[in-house]
Structure 1
Amino acid sequence: MPTTTMSPMDNSWPAKPYGFLEGAHTQLRRIFHLWRCKKYRGQFTEEKKAVYEEKLEASEIFKDKKALYPSSVSQPFKGDYLEIQKNPKYQKLNSAMEEKVLLADLVNKINRANGKGSPRLFLLTKSNFVLADQKTGQVKASVPLPDLASVSVSTQSDGFFALKLKEGSASASKGDFLLSSEHLIEIITKLHRIGTTAADRDQINIDISDEFLVQFKQDKVCVKFIQGGPKNGNSAACKRKNNRLLEVSVPSP
């Protein structure tokens, strides 16, 4: 047995004793690596497999495309950040959900008039997403996922994302949602994954750009991301510049 570990990442392999064994030596190394990978995969529960599949999907969506992504790699996807099933504060809201809550998080809903954020509870199931009042748990909006056309994010290290609704859908009457979250990578990965696995709807498109349009009632508003100075602190800040522009200042790296 070669003096290598059982880690699939271990590339060490003993030198061949004789030159004429080159072919056999290479094949044995390949066979041992495949066996080691199989043993490693065999340790995974279905739950652990799902976690790694989500992380892989996050990589496919965001790697080398969004500056926030690298910092998320080592962070496990927790899903329920509110402990919605245990917290008595959210008992009424949890019981109102018709399906299992896949993600529960505290987000900021960006006010369309001035760009300031208001805290909201964000819940995601296989069929819809819900925004609720942080203090009372009262549902403010419930949107079926088939009404969601796409998601837009910047290339930078901020947590802002726009949920853009299909024109003509019942949910689109009040306009798109501009939100921010510390768990943007996980939220969008889960949204994308649900769309990928659902047979009754199209996959959700993810648009990564530093300038995109959102529909606020009757108006189309441009959301533009710029590099800000130290005066903005460590977090991104959003301001309404005029009727057609929301500007997000992101701290320089």
Structure 2
Amino acid sequence: ISLETYRTERLDDLALLIQKTFRCYRIRKKFVAMTTAQILIAKFWRKYLKSRKVRKIRELKLMRKSVNAIQRCYIQWKRLLYLRQLTTEVTRLTSPVSKSWPHVPSYLQETNSLLKILFHRWRCRQYRRCLDNHPSDRLRLNEKSTASEIFKGEKESYERSITHPFLGDYIRLRQNSQWRRMDSSPIVFADLINKVARSSGKLIPTVLVTTTTAILLLDPRTLSIKYKIHPNSLKQITMSTLNDDFCVFQIDHSDEEVAMETMPRNSCICSNNLNSGDKVDYDGNNTGGDLIFHTCHLIEMVTKIVLVCGNFCRNFGNHSLNNCHGEKLGAEMLRVVFSNE
């Protein structure tokens, strides 16, 4: 091979090497530029995504804060509205036994229960203060409470007597001048009732007067005293559990001084042949026994007689409610049965 040929081949190889190196440099430079650009783009893209996420988190926090603020203001407004409504409505709920109460939202249940307890205690306190200022109201409350203890769940006619006030003197005996001359004891109960006669079983009108010291049976026309029963001589009061108005007074005749007493000879039914301490019926029978009464104010009459007897005997609680019991009418025992039939 000649030198010229070798030189030509060598120049071709060198030219190819130069081209290869240049192309490699150019492509590498382009690759490095693309890599740098890709890294920069990825960097800014991640930064953008992160900033957008942070912005969303901030917006969510702001939204929650706003919601909480709005909700808090709304609840405070509802509470204020509830308290204003409660203030106007509870002014009518003065009775301690009233169970009515305004409607309350679900989120105020705990507050409502506490306010209800506090208001109930407050009105009970106010009611007690009123009772302290008005002793007559305290007495009526005591009578109603005693009636509830005796008859609630035991006597069918008790329910209709709850709303009926205990008046005591239904015949205005306190204004009667003849009564004021005859007895100065305070009247606890006075009413025109019916007494069952021992001999015939008929209903005889009579006036029953309960004072603080005795139980009196008066003639309805002349107001003359027919019977006088000391509270210590009243052994038991018997009634039925049904919706009737009968009661039986069982009298203890063992002590003649405190049992039923006849009045002096000027009494219209007393005979000159009666001895002191004899028990006299309206029929004129000289016999002792239990007394059967019929009255439309049975609950009030029995309650007040129990209270009067309780003043003489602290442990007095001799009252029974059953539909079958034996009663003494004169010298005989009678079996009394109450039935709905």
Please give the TM-score of this superposition, normalised by the length of structure 1. Answer: 0.78
Alignment of 1:121-160 (within 5 A): 121-160=207-246
Residue 289 of structure 2 is matched in structure 1 by 175
Separation (CA, whole Å) in 1 of partners of 2:113 and 2:175: 55
Separation (CA, whole Å) in 1 of partners of 2:337 and 2:115: 55
| Alignment partner of 1:163 is 2:252 | no
Q: What is the identity, as a one-letter code, of the residue corresponding to 1:191?
A: I
Separation (CA, whole Å) in 2 of partners of 1:69 and 1:94: 33
Residue 208 of structure 1 is matched in structure 2 by 321
Separation (CA, whole Å) in 1 of partners of 2:328 and 2:255: 13
Separation (CA, whole Å) in 2 of partners of 1:25 and 1:116: 60
Q: What is the identity, as a one-letter code, of the residue corresponding to 2:204?
A: S
SS of the residue 2:175 aligns to = coil
Residue 62 of structure 1 is matched in structure 2 by 151
User: Can you give the 5+ residue segments of structure 2 that lack an aligned partner in the other structure?
Assistant: 1-79, 261-278, 280-287
Residue 112 of structure 1 is matched in structure 2 by 198
Distance 1:36 1:103, change over 3 A: closer
Q: What is the identity, as a one-letter code, of the residue corresponding to 1:222?
A: R
For residue 31 of structure 1, the aligned residue among 118, 121, 132 is 118
SS of the residue 2:171 aligns to = coil
SS of the residue 2:155 aligns to = coil
Deviation at 1:59, TM superposition (A): 1.3
8 Å CA contact 2:232, 2:312 repeated in 1: no
Residue 72 of structure 1 is matched in structure 2 by 161
Q: What is the identity, as a one-letter code, of the residue corresponding to 2:102?
A: S
8 Å CA contact 1:151, 1:204 repeated in 2: no
Distance 1:15 1:37, change over 3 A: farther
| Alignment partner of 1:12 is 2:102 | yes
Distance 1:68 1:28, change over 3 A: closer
Q: Which runs of 4+ in 1 moved over 2 A?
A: 1-4, 8-19, 24-33, 39-44, 91-95, 199-202
| Alignment partner of 1:188 is 2:278 | no
8 Å CA contact 1:102, 1:125 repeated in 2: yes
SS of the residue 2:338 aligns to = strand
More helix by share: 2
Distance 1:53 1:141, change over 3 A: same
Distance 1:18 1:186, change over 3 A: closer
Distance 1:175 1:25, change over 3 A: closer
Moved more, 8-17 or 93-102: 8-17
1:29-54 residue CA offsets vs partner (Å, 9 max, x unmatched): 43233123322433342211211221
Bigger Cα Rg: 2
Higher RCO by CA contacts (8 Å cutoff, separation 6 or greater): 1
Residue 264 of structure 2 is matched in structure 1 by none
Distance 1:192 1:62, change over 3 A: same
Q: Alpha carbon RMSD of aligned pairs, Å?
A: 2.4
Separation (CA, whole Å) in 2 of partners of 1:183 and 1:161: 11
Moved more, 26-35 or 170-179: 26-35
Distance 1:42 1:159, change over 3 A: same
Deviation at 1:27, TM superposition (A): 4.0
More strand by share: 1
8 Å CA contact 2:188, 2:212 repeated in 1: yes
How much identity, in percent, do the aligned residues show?
Answer: 26
1:121-174 residue CA offsets vs partner (Å, 9 max, x unmatched): 100012210111111111111010100011001111111111111241222652
Moved more, 165-174 or 133-142: 165-174
